[in-house]
Structure 1
Amino acid sequence: MAGTREVTGDRARDEKLRQELLKSEKEAAEHVMLVDLARNDLGKVCELGSVKVPIYRKIVKFSKVQHIVSKVVGVLKQSADSFDVLEAVFPAGTVSGAPKIRAIEIIHELEEVPRGPYAGGVGFFEKDEADFAINIRSFYATEAKLYVQAGAGIVADSQPEFEYKETQHKASALLGALGVR
């Protein structure tokens, strides 16, 4: 998932935002970069030539936002297991950036507060399978505070005001669940 517009509840406005999302060169470039990162990450643990993108740049609508979504799949190497997959893909490029290793270093240098569960994996292991998702919107509590976490992808063409507003739209579903508007 990379590329976001709000959902307003107005069908015509939402369709206009959907079209804007699909036509945006910035969003397309960011999405292509992140699909390539995912392909590269999976390529480390999948059979040579098996990594595919069966769903590419589909718009998926949620309660407060709509996203460009792609699906990257591959056939796991005989020598790899679910733990190897998690190690290869986390943190995902969608929450770290590219080049991945340097982007993670910069995140550690610049972010004043640890991410906690944000950008980590949420899922389960069973005997012969695992299913995990990236924790991109969450809240968690400590004894004294409640943290609401959401983010936006920053690229060279990003406009800070737009990215901030995008983060607010993403967090609004969480805040709504808490009765905060």
Structure 2
Amino acid sequence: MRVSIHKHIANPEQFKQQLLIWSQQFREVVFLDSNSYPQEYSSFDCLLAVDAFTSIKTDYHNAFDDLKQYQSTTKDWLLGYLTYDLKNNVEDLKSSNFDGLNFPDLFFFQPKKLFLLKGNQLEIQYLFLCDDEVEEDFTAISEIEYEPFVSLSGIEVQQRISKEFYIEKVTKMLQHIHAGDMYEANFCMEFFAENAVINPLEKFQKLNEISQAPFSVFFKNNKQYLLSASPERYLKKVGETLISQPIKGTSKRSLDPVEDEKSKEYLENDAKERAENIMITDLVRNDLSHTAQKGSVEVVELCKIYSFLQVHQMISTITSKLDPQYSPVDVLKTTFPMGSMTGAPKISVMKIIENLEETKRGLYSGAVGYFTPSGDFDFNVVIRSILYNQENQYVSFSVGSAITAQSIPEKEYEECLLKAKAMHEVLE
């Protein structure tokens, strides 16, 4: 039974920062921030969940079945993540590349304390706890003095794949495309730092400040951290409606308004970028059809341009109505990993990229999000994100781009560096 209390918040932006600072005392933290980005499908401006009452942590073996049982028996708020390597649960695949982070393949927890902020209205939900504790915590949060981050010394970031090696690998991918093994694939490379000591809170504050992305996440599970400035939604469920919003297509922002508009128009009219986006839209339509009511899959927006602080992105929106015979976790299992981070045809692509990539993706290109007590959910795509294992002092971030028959390896490499810019800035 959750105790629910409502509060009016005079300064929501300041309160979000106070919430995040207060949360650092707990072993488990999920802080989701939409950064007031104008989006049609947002349920909250900010959500904070802390302090596990129960949790599930597992490798990929039977992971979705375990999650389904946990979600259906708990029937409460659950927050956590799905790593890319859950592909091995869904298909006959493996992940044997190097992994410097060593996160569990799946982790969710049922929080004792939950804060939901929308506009000036804050809802606080505590599990089995008395009103006195809610009031004490609210007072403690409100009294925190927030000071903007002060950047500490940086760390030296290395690149796992050199430019020459990257071009060689993308050339091999083009050979697979010309041989008819695949049409499009998302190929990723890692940047990393060893013996790295960072302040995760400070790095997240800086990353969030320079990105202000709609699906930002600060995640902590003991000594494992995700600092995410993701612009992409993987999948959201509201009642029987499912919403997926894959991103394919990127161009850089410019401080010059004329140049910026040109970059946006170039992206909108670029035949290669549109072809990429349409291929993934088709893949998502197919994925959603597995659990959809007949004839309910619909493309609501195709190749629409959205602007973020760092880049312009091409995004499509696909919706469906869920057939009541399927559970919330069934939907995740039949659509995971997301099309924008794999390619088409999905299984063939996942085998090829596993052979050509140098690093196990882990939580990168997985998803972070929540289930509500009624079985609704919302998950992002873990991109534009820094991962940190405090115990072994390993920092990692990866970037990727879509390889199609029209791809020029050097240009794909430049796109990767553009996507890596914010994380480099934060860490170095």
Amino acid at match of 1:163: E
Give the residue type in structure 2 aligned to 1:30: E
- CA 1:179/1:113 → structure 2, altered by over 3 Å: closer, same or farther? closer
SS at match of 2:383: coil
The normalised TM-score by structure 1 is 0.93
User: What's the CA shift string for 1:79-112, capped at 9, x where partnerless?
Assistant: 1122111112211111111110100111222212
2:413 aligns with one of 155, 164, 170: 164
Quote the residue 1:98 is aligned against: 344
Identity %: 38
* Structure 1 segments (4+ residues) deviating >3 Å: none
TM-score (norm 2): 0.41
Task: Say if 2:268 and 2:274, in contact at 8 Å, map to a contact too.
Answer: yes
Query: Based on CA coordinates, which of the two structures has the bigger radius of gyration?
Result: 2
Q: Could you say which residue in structure 2 is the equivalent of 1:22?
A: 268
CA distance in 2, matches of 1:25, 1:9: 25
Aligned to 1:174: 423
CA contact (8 A) 1:63 1:173 kept: no
- 5 Å-filtered alignment, 1:34-73, equals 34-73=280-319
Q: Do residues 145 (structure 1) and 394 (structure 2) align? A: yes
Secondary structure of the structure 1 residue equivalent to 2:318: strand
Where structure 1 has 5 or more consecutive residues not aligned to the other structure, the ranges are none
**Which residue is equivalent to 2:254?**
8
Alpha carbons 2:278, 2:302 under 8 Å: kept: no
If each structure's strand is expressed as a fraction of its own residues, which one has the higher value? 2
Q: Point out which structure has higher relative CO (alpha carbons under 8 A, 6+ apart).
A: 2
Match of 1:133 in 2: 380
Pick from 100, 108, 113 the counterpart of residue 359 of structure 2. 113
Q: Which runs of 5+ in 2 are unaligned?
A: 1-246
Kindly provide the CA deviation profile for residues 99-135 of structure 1, in whole angstroms up to 9, marking residues without a partner as x: 1010011122221210011111111111220111111
| RMSD of equivalent CA atoms | 1.3
More deviation, 1-10/144-153: 144-153
Letter in 2 for 1:144: Q
Matched positions, count: 179
Is the Cα contact below 8 Å between 1:18 and 1:66 reproduced in 2?
yes
User: How far apart, CA to CA, are the structure 1 residues paired with 2:427 and 2:384?
Assistant: 16
SS of corresponding position for 1:2: strand
